[in-house]
Amino acid sequence: MTPPVARLGEVRANRRIVFSGLGALGVAAALAGCAGSDGGGSSKPSVAAGDELAATADVPVGGGVVLADQKIVLTQPVAGEFKAFTAVCTHQGLTVTSVKDGTILCAHHGSSYSAEDGAVEGGPAPSALAEVAVKVQGDKILAA
Ligand code: FES
């Protein structure tokens, strides 16, 4: 019995099918990357009123903390004044990356926002970060 041998034309046809299939996968992956890039598919913070977000000592004056899981960025623009905003960048929905010198930064494409009110300060972001209500109870910052 002789082993099966594909003719040259059949091999080429099969390769074309494989490559076109990979192309479709690539497009699907690219679309998925655009749609759900913040991981949860939602731009809303995922907290409930009363949830403990951080200790006040964790949030430096003039700086802040990005809570990626809760999609919240906490800031302390001036000593004793704590603010919170959605951490989902209004540019492409990725999570902002840091807070420094009174500015919330999204290093993905260079957007920046005020740590005081979430207003756009630079980069491609089309709109401000929405404020999230928080309250300080003792030495803890809670979702309000
Ligand atoms: S997603 Fe933040 S700058 Fe593009």
- In this structure, the residue with its CA closest to atom 1 of ligand 1 is 92
Q: Which residues pair with 83 in a beta bridge?
A: 75
Average pLDDT in the chain: 80
The Cα 32–Cα 64 span in angstroms is 30
Together in a domain, 27 and 78: no
Maximum distance among all Cα pairs of the chain, rounded to whole angstroms: 86
**Per-residue pLDDT reduced to its tens digit, 72-125:** 999 999 999 999 999 999 999 999 999 999 999 999 999 999 999 999 999 999
pLDDT range class, residue 45, cuts 50, 70, 90: confident
Domain count along the chain:
2
Distance of CA 5 to the CA centre of its chain: 52
CA distances from residue 80 to 16, 61, 106, 119, 120 in whole angstroms, order as listed: 64, 8, 25, 21, 23
Q: Are residues 58 and 103 in the same domain?
A: yes
**Which atom of ligand 1 sits closest to the CA of residue 106?**
2
39 against 64, higher pLDDT? 64
DSSP calls for the chain: -PPP---HHHHHHHHHHHHHHHHHHHHHHHHHHHHSTTSSS--S----TT-EEEEGGGS-TT-EEEETTTTEEEEEEETTEEEEEE-B-TTTSPBP-EEETTEEEETTTTEEEETTT--EEESS--SPPPB--EEEETTEEEE-
Asked if the structure places residue 45 within a domain, the reply is no
CA of 123 to the centre of ligand 1 (A): 8
In this structure, are 93 and 125 located in the same domain? yes
Q: Which amino acids bring their CB within 6 angstroms of ligand 1?
A: 89, 91-92, 94, 106, 108-111, 123-125
For residue 108, what are its two tokens?
């993905």
* Amino acid found at 57: A
8 and 63 together in one domain: no
Domain that holds residue 24: 1-35
Q: Which of 89, 95, 105 to mutate to test the pocket of ligand 1 (most atoms within 8 A of CB)?
A: 89
pTM of the model: 0.72
Domain contains 43:
no
**Which atom of ligand 1 lies nearest, measured to the CA of 125?**
3
Same domain membership, residue 31 and residue 61: no
